[in-house]
């Protein structure tokens, strides 16, 4: 009784600003686990102490679970960047203009990438850094995590198949859930199935031709530039698919029909991109970490 009271109070007081929903994050991480190299897999399975196929997927939503705790509050601005652009006329992201002093998803990805390479910090801290990296690569691929308008759409109320939601939630969860045919069942099983399908599409299906372009500009030495490129690409969808008629016109609209038909393929492609890019990023982290830790051994000899 007490426990359920506490739980329901906890749920009620959760702010409406929730991150790119569980399905998107978990699917992205499962896709990444299909594309990482064997040595990368071994590196992260050891670091995250999980030999199962869900070693990445199992930690993909951890960063959301701590952001409203008193310990985790310092991370609350790490999940997004508030692009102060003007959709639908102009979409753009500017690091100097849009990243808050307390941080944003761009600086957070850079910060935790550095920490995951640091041979001098304890393993638990590198594991924590890895969990942040896995989460923030996902967040960077949700259009409304790369937009300021109405708190990334949190303050815009719309209809989704007749029910009221905020627009941010629609882009975090509703579109993906409807795209895969509903959310009945375990999110892990749904995500795994969707990830398997998207892995085939990336490897030799509809994304095969463009997949190299997705990782071509990845600059591991410059995480800010890389994250900004992903952010800018994602933010363009704010003008074309999130607010094609502008933020005012969407208020109260039913989005489960034609809007969904246009948005579904965007979400699908963004999840696929995020998964492949996460794999490439984790490959670089694992390789660089191994290089540095061998260098340390050499120095000591
Ligand atoms: C990676 O591991 C898989 C399965 O464990 C194996 O089939 C494959 O040959 C390995 N690849 C390399 C390059 O070692
Ligand atoms: C970097 O990570 C550390 C450890 O979590 C955190 O205390 C710090 O605020 C972060 N800095 C930025 C700029 O993200």
What is the pTM (predicted TM-score) of this model?
0.91
Q: Please give the C-alpha separations between residue 167 and each of 49, 115, 238, 252, in angstroms, as whole numbers.
A: 37, 34, 12, 10
Tell me what the pLDDT averaged over the chain comes to: 92
134 Cα to the center of ligand 2, angstroms: 16
pLDDT tens digits, residue range 108-125? 999 999 999 999 999 999
Overall average pLDDT of the 78-100 stretch: 98
Q: Which CATH code is given to the segment(s) 22-293? A: 1.10.575.10
Coil, helix or strand for 163? strand
Q: Report residues whose beta carbon is within 6 angstroms of any ligand 2 atom.
A: 74, 103, 107-108, 111
Residue spans per domain, the chain? 22-293
**Residue 118 and residue 83: Cα distance in Å, rounded?**
31
What is the largest distance, in Å, between two alpha-carbon atoms of the chain? Answer: 68
35 Cα to the center of ligand 1, angstroms: 12
277 Cα to the center of ligand 2, angstroms: 23
Q: Ligand 2: which atom is nearest the Cα of residue 129?
A: 5
Query: Which of 71, 106, 111 has most ligand 2 atoms within 8 Å of its beta carbon, as the pocket-test mutant?
Result: 111
| For ligand 2, atom 9: residue with the closest CA | 74
Across the strands, what pairs with 90? 86
pLDDT for 20 equals 56
């Amino acid at each position: 009784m007490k426990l359920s009271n506490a739980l329901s109070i906890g749920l009620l007081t959760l702010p409406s600003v929730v991150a790119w929903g569980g399905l998107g994050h978990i699917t992205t991480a499962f896709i990444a686990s299909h594309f990482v190299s064997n040595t990368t897999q071994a590196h992260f399975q050891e670091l995250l102490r999980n030999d199962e196929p869900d070693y990445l997927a199992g930690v993909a939503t951890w960063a959301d679970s701590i952001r409203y705790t008193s310990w985790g509050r310092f991370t609350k601005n790490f999940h997004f960047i508030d692009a102060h652009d003007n959709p639908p006329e102009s979409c753009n992201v500017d690091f100097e203009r849009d990243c808050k002093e307390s941080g944003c998803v761009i600086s957070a990805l850079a910060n935790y990438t550095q920490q995951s390479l640091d041979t001098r910090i304890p393993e638990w801290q590198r594991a924590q850094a890895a969990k942040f990296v896995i989460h923030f690569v996902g967040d960077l691929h949700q259009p409304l995590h790369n937009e300021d308008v109405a708190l990334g759409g949190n303050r815009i109320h719309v209809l989704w198949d007749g029910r009221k939601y905020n627009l941010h939630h629609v882009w975090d969860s509703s579109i993906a859930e409807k795209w895969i045919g509903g959310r009945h069942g375990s999110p892990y099983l749904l995500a795994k199935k969707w990830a398997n399908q998207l892995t085939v599409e990336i490897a030799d299906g509809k994304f095969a031709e463009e997949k190299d372009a997705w990782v071509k500009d990845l600059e591991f030495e410059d995480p800010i530039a890389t994250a900004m490129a992903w952010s800018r690409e994602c933010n363009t969808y704010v003008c074309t698919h999130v607010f094609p008629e502008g933020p005012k016109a969407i208020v109260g609209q039913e989005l489960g029909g034609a809007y969904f038909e246009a948005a579904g393929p965007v979400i699908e492609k963004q999840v696929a991109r995020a998964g492949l890019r996460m794999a490439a990023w984790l490959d670089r982290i694992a390789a660089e970490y191994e290089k540095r830790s061998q260098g340390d051994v050499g120095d000591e000899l």
